[in-house]
């Protein structure tokens, strides 16, 4: 089968490993059909709810950031504690938050299913550049589940110049976790991803709220912040791999 391969700047499209390419048609991209911000204001008891409809008929891949729970300055990668996805909606339920306060959720809904399975029934493929999955016609296919890529919707764009890794000794004592500050200077808060490469944990990851391992990342218009607290008796030195994209949260 023919492939469309795009190398990163300075790379060799014929020699580079797949992981080092900018694009390969052999892999499905997370093509984002809906991007937005949902604001939810709590009542006098600190409770609130709301939803965003996607009506895809299956569980799509979701990326979520939230602002207002920890502070009103930074966007935090969401733990999923206060939202869940169904085959038609994202449902938000806030319980015991600050009363009469507005919280914000930045959502990115991909046309891909969580398991990357195929399907039919939706009419949501657009754009002139189209690459279908095996067995489907890129010209006539209408359901995003059956596509590797189509240019009519957004895909996440990683900035390789801003993305890297950092190794640092991590503290054990709560409430003073280690905060690693990584400048990006984009002028807006970008979508970011963080991996604790030493152990394989992906941010956000919380094993105990006040006594144990915690890993968060959050962003503002200038920096990416990685906040981590270790558990145990020995202060570890860990390596964090981070990806900073050009995709804007707000």
> Would 240 be classed as within a structural domain?
yes
> Do both 106 and 174 map to the same domain?
no
> Would 154 be classed as within a structural domain?
no
Cα-based distances in Å from 236 to 36, 171, 182, 199, 213: 38, 8, 20, 11, 12
Give average pLDDT by consecutive 10-residue segment, the chain, 250 residues. 85 91 92 98 98 98 95 94 96 96 98 95 97 96 97 96 96 82 98 96 80 88 96 88 97
Nearest in space to 84 (alpha carbons), one of 117, 115, 49: 49
Report which DSSP code applies to 227.
Answer: E
Report residue 201 as tokens.
């944990």
> Would 190 be classed as within a structural domain?
yes
What's residue 171's pLDDT?
A: 87
> Would 218 be classed as within a structural domain?
yes
What's residue 1's pLDDT?
A: 62
> Would 41 be classed as within a structural domain?
yes
Residue 82 and residue 94 in contact, taking contact as beta carbons nearer than 8 Å: yes
Instruction: Please give the angle made by the CA atoms of 54, 55 and 61, to the nearest 5 degrees.
Output: 55
Range of the domain at 223: 164-248
What's residue 97's pLDDT?
A: 94
> Would 168 be classed as within a structural domain?
yes
> Do both 105 and 176 map to the same domain?
no
Burial 3-41 (b: 16+ CB within 10 A, else e): eeeeeeeeeeeeebeeeebebbbeebbbbbbbbeebebe
> Would 148 be classed as within a structural domain?
no
Among residues 113, 135, 154, the one where a domain terminates is 113
pTM of the model: 0.93
Residue 145 main-chain phi, psi, to 5 deg: -60, -25
Among residues 95, 113, 131, the one where a domain terminates is 113
> Would 10 be classed as within a structural domain?
no
> Do both 95 and 169 map to the same domain?
no
> Domain count of the chain?
2
């Amino acid at each position: 089968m023919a492939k469309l391969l795009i190398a990163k700047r300075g790379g060799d499209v014929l020699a580079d490993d797949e992981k080092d390419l900018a694009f390969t048609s052999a892999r499905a991209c997370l093509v984002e059909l809906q991007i937005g911000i949902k604001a939810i204001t709590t009542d006098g008891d600190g409770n609130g709810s709301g939803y965003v409809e996607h009506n895809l008929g299956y569980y799509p891949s979701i990326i979520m950031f939230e602002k207002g729970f920890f502070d009103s300055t930074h966007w935090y990668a969401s733990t999923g504690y206060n939202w869940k996805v169904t085959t038609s909606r994202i449902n938000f339920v806030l319980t015991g938050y600050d009363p009469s306060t507005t919280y914000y959720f930045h959502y990115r809904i991909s046309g891909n299913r969580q398991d990357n399975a195929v399907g039919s029934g939706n009419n949501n493929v657009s754009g002139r550049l189209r690459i279908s999955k095996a067995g489907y016609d890129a010209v006539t296919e209408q359901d995003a589940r059956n596509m590797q890529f189509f240019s009519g919707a957004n895909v996440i764009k990683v900035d390789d110049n801003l993305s890297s890794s950092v190794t640092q000794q991590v503290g054990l004592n709560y409430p003073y976790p280690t905060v690693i500050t990584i400048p990006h200077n984009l002028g807006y808060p970008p979508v970011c991803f963080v991996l604790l490469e030493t152990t394989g944990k992906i941010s956000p990851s919380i094993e105990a709220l006040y006594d144990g391992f915690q890993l968060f990342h959050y962003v503002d218009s200038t920096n990416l912040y990685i906040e981590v607290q270790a558990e145990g008796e020995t202060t570890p030195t860990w390596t964090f791999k981070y990806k900073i994209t050009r995709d804007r949260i707000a």
